Structure 1
Amino acid sequence: MADSSPDDTQDRAPDAALEQSGAKTAEPMIEAVHLSKFYGVFTATRDISFQVNKGEVVAFLGPNGAGKSTTMKMLTGYLAPSQGTARIAGFEVSTHRREASRRLGYLPENGPLYPDMTPSSMLNFMAEVRGMSPGYKAARIAAVAELCDLHGVFQKPISKLSKGYRQRVGMAQALLHEPDVLILDEPTAGLDPNQIHHVREMILQLGAEKTILLSTHILQEVEAMCSRVVMISEGQKRYDGPVAGLAEAQESLDEAFRRRTAAEAEPA
């Protein structure tokens, strides 16, 4: 994918606030615009559209195999869409990858960690790849090590770490460059209850100042961390709205999940 041009501001998405004169409108930081991904005759996702506004923590909900990870990979530039557009902070990912990446922190479901490295050496390597100055690099590594509670394992090979600590290392690399936007794919998958609690607390803390999209198929995650839900099933959008609107009267979230993932897809 091409890097950004010298004047990236010319290619930013139009400010939605201009559409309503004098009205204060939310600022979109993550935008999926009619995203589809096809593999031959197989459709992974079809015509997915939604946006996450500045300061929101939004759950990307769906059963296993729904297309959540595929959509997140398209949003982050790790996978080219067959159709549609992804934007981060107004920058189109396919044409302005560098500018989008500067504003984005991404935690894949099975993060690309280097098992022979230690958390310390990996974070130093990632900082150098991003071109951080020595002083800024040292400050940021110290900050994310503290936030993710890595000091006890900082010099231990990643291959020897538990699943919970590997998730913390992945979160640390996603936060290293102080991104405005976080996209987290199943951040609590495979963790024990204590580790889940730690990750939830971290996300709640980060949500006070960042825009976050996190995927999950665990309904407790939605209630604990998010105010809004985008739900997909079989590669198509089923719901986009507040958590409170997901279930009907006298209906549990489990029942609402089953009903909506079995329903016909909503228009994108």
Structure 2
Amino acid sequence: MILVTFLQAWLLIALIRRRVLGRFKWFFFYTVFSIVAGIGEFAVRNRPWTYFYVYWAAEAVYSILGFFAIDEAFRRVFRNFYVLRWFRFLLPGVGIVMLILAVVEGYFNPPVQAPWWLATIYVGEIAVRCLQVGIFALFVLLVRLYLLPWQNYAFGISVGFSIAAFGMFTTVMLRSALGTKLMALQYVPAMAYLIAVLIWLASFIKPEPPNPYQGLISPLTPEQLLVLLRSYTQELKGLLKKSMAVS
């Protein structure tokens, strides 16, 4: 816990040095809260009940800030594509699917004898983790499809959140299958989160290229690509109308 808090403090210094508050304010707030929560949890570590409430209250805030941080990163990379009507519904669509999966998981595998508020936080956390994994999958698909550069802050944020989410899912699924027999499972989320923080630190410790689209393999700019996509859409509509007229 102390190591992670120290690394997040180092990450905060890197965020300040890179002056990213205007571009990634939610991730900045997430990092600040993580440091405060880490110090708070360490301070009450010897008081079980106090630690219990502090921990789950922090998890609730983590879920909210994590959602806005990953949404912010996605919009940052693909902001030029939001002029496409279908693209505006892409992220909400993935969010709805991931939320359904989370509700199903939370309903069938809730914490044992948990109060309603704890179950709510638990399901909400799973929903956000599912959304983070889903957005990461979209990142990979769209970056490969449109030949966008991988070396940018937003993609680093998404990779970190997805690894932390995979760590949580691995623990949940294995505990559902094996119960509490394998005690080492309790360390998996912490190790995954440590890796996530290291990835964030590695992403922000070096400057981002001035032009986020620098290094595109495709000679087309995002604006030119949008024009090309629109022309393809119009041609496709024309072909569909002709085929319907013939039939």
Q: Which has the higher strand share?
A: 1
The higher radius of gyration belongs to: 2
TM-score for the superposition, normalised by structure 1: 0.27
TM-score for the superposition, normalised by structure 2: 0.29
